[in-house]
Chain A
Amino acid sequence: MAGAFQGIDFYDVDGLLDDEERMTRDMVREWVDDRLLPIIEEAYVERRFPTEIVPELGTLGMLGANLPEEYGCAGLNNVAYGLIMQELERGDSGIRSFASVQGALVMYPIYAFGSEAQKRDWLPRLQSGDAIGCFGLTEPDYGSNPAGMITTAQKTADGWVLNGTKMWITNGSMADVAVIWAQTGEVGDVPGIRGFLVETDTPGFSARDQKGKLSLLASDTSELHLADVEVGDAALLPESRGLKSPLMCLTQARYGIAWGAVGAAMACLDEAVRYAKERKMFDGPIGGKQIQQVRLADMLTQLTQGQLLALRLGRLKDEGTMTPQQVSLAKRANVDMACDTAREARRLLGANGILVEYASMRHMANLESVYTYEGTHDIHSLILGQALTGLSAF
């Protein structure tokens, strides 16, 4: 196998990072080389999320790393957080998905919309990996348009009763706690959507593994059923107000995806370059053929653009001026770039490219999920179209 990953950095992007950011990246990079890459192929083929890595993700501080230290988190800036996502997804999109859901879709809403008691109760054990969370927004009939959701939360004397079905929920079967978004008013009442912390051992709550996936195999994707699930008043995220709240979570997660996609693309380009130099066909290495050089040059160009896009987005986030539309642009562009890069790398590898021993096809298949979740590519087109024209095309 290849030696330690050296990164792909044609434009000295490293020179734009500070010491902590580089140290963070280097640590996670080494961890992925040592701990994740040796097990990922097998986990992928066995279609299982490798739970054995969770404690170390926790002790090393990779879960919710950009949240404050007072809740046990590492308190990193957003660029360092992005670099963690980049390196994790260089390993596998399923592992990055786990970290994204835990950090951006479970810890973040507790941090942003939770009571102090909820924060103290959950954030330390979620950051250490002692507890796992999932985020239930999507429903069977409400994917791109969650505003129409039909999962309901009805007020009772001392709490709430939840009913409904959530689909495609990452970490769903292994979660200890689910952040469930439910309609507290009439269906279609967008401000009536609120978030609830539902412990998964509550009677009436059940999760079922989504069978038949051909993508993101090293990830738990499940369907959640809520049948008269009774929770106390303390389960409501008190500061959650309408659809805006889950969308704020998605902005956090999409931000991480924009970085993660760069990592997946790096893994594929790195593999393609190595292979192109070693594989001899006709009279020399295929890397010496013009067609493969064009292919590699295109990959490098797109990747470098994506790297700079992610970094600039991170700096804007750290300055506090980042807009959701800017996140849409980076999620859309970088995931598309990574999909192209993975597919081209797979093709360059010839027949070997369809094997699990090489990473490109695994990334290629994974990235199809990433293309679809967290706002499909098309939905981000519509967000950008609206930003440009002021006209909604949804």
Chain B
Amino acid sequence: MEILVCVKRVPDTETRIRIGDGGRSIDPSGVKYVLSPYDEFAVEAALRTKEGLGEGEVTVTTFGDDASQETLRSALAMGANRAVLLEGAATMDGLTTAKVLATEIEEMDPPLVLLGMKAADADQQQVGPMLATLLGRPCATAVAEFEVADGKVVCRREVEGGTEVLELDLPAVITVTKGAYEPRYASLKGIMAAKRKPLEKKPVDVPESALVVEALEPPPEKAAGRIVGEGPDAVAELVRLLREEARVL
């Protein structure tokens, strides 16, 4: 079975982010970029599905600039078979991204499309469901584990206090969360093999976006903590402050 995984290049979650000039984007200098962690789960899920079925191909794709090639290579090093770079200026608008992906996916027509539940940078959780809508395919989000059999995919989701099981007809779109899919390390042989795997670059038309980023601001500095007293005598005061000031009780 053909499985397509849509991935994104994002700043490493350990990187210290600075806001760039103009206050509408981050300053990319000195920022280390990685394959978004949720997308790693999706790649892992695709590889395990392929390995489980004993056949098929995993293609990874991203909408982004030339630098995103490195991100695709990371997924190839994990074991994906081939990559397609949809070359264009990526935006913060999930709908634009979904439209670009949908146009390509209609052409490729893979039965299963996987995405990370969200991108680790924007955290919007939009692209998966929007893509499914544009394609007119069923969608399950934040899936912890799934299994493909007989033209269907059975998905397990962790919901408040329990588990939900969904069955979708293929073709379908699934967004993946960590769940069962602790990503493998790319082996050194995998890294070397990735150099030789096909990576196709396709310039794409980027539809106009109806969304602009107005401002980005770093979170406010955390106020210093306060010691309200010591020993059992301080408990009453602590409880009062938690109730009246912090309002957490």
Contacts and interface: CB of A to CB of B under 8 A. Distances in A.
Contacts of A59: 187
A23 B73 contact: yes
Instruction: Give chain B's interface secondary structure class.
Output: helix
12 contacts: A20-B195, A23-B73, A23-B77, A23-B186, A59-B187, A60-B185, A65-B188, A74-B187, A74-B188, A74-B189, A75-B189, A80-B188
Interface in A1-51: 3-4, 6, 19-20, 22-24, 27, 30-31
Interface in A35-86: 59-62, 65, 69, 74-76, 80, 84
Contacts, number: 50
Nearest to B77: A23
A27 B14 contact: no
Given A4-B14, A6-B14, A20-B195, A60 B188 contact: yes
B189 A62 contact: no
A3 B188 contact: no
Chain B, interface size category, equals 10 to 19
**Residue in B77, B186, B191, B194 whose Cβ sees the most chain A Cβ within 10 Å:** B191
Contact of A27 (B32, B70, B73, B186): B186
B239 interface: no
B187 A60 contact: yes
Interface string B176-192: 00000000011111011
Nearest to A26: B34
State the majority secondary structure of interface residues on A: helix
B187 A61 contact: yes
Contacts of A20: 191-192, 194-195
Among A3, A24, A61, A76, max chain B CB count under 10 A is at A61
A142 B195 CA distance: 46
A313 B186 CA distance: 26
B49 interface: no
B185 A30 contact: yes
A45 B74 CA distance: 37
B188 A27 contact: yes
A24 B189 contact: no
Nearest to B34: A26
Interface string A257-270: 00000000000000
Nearest to A75: B192
A316 B74 CA distance: 27
Given A3-B14, A4-B14, A19 B188 contact: no
Contacts of B14: 3-4, 6
Contact of B191 (A3, A24, A30, A69): A24
Interface string B187-212: 11101101100000000000000000
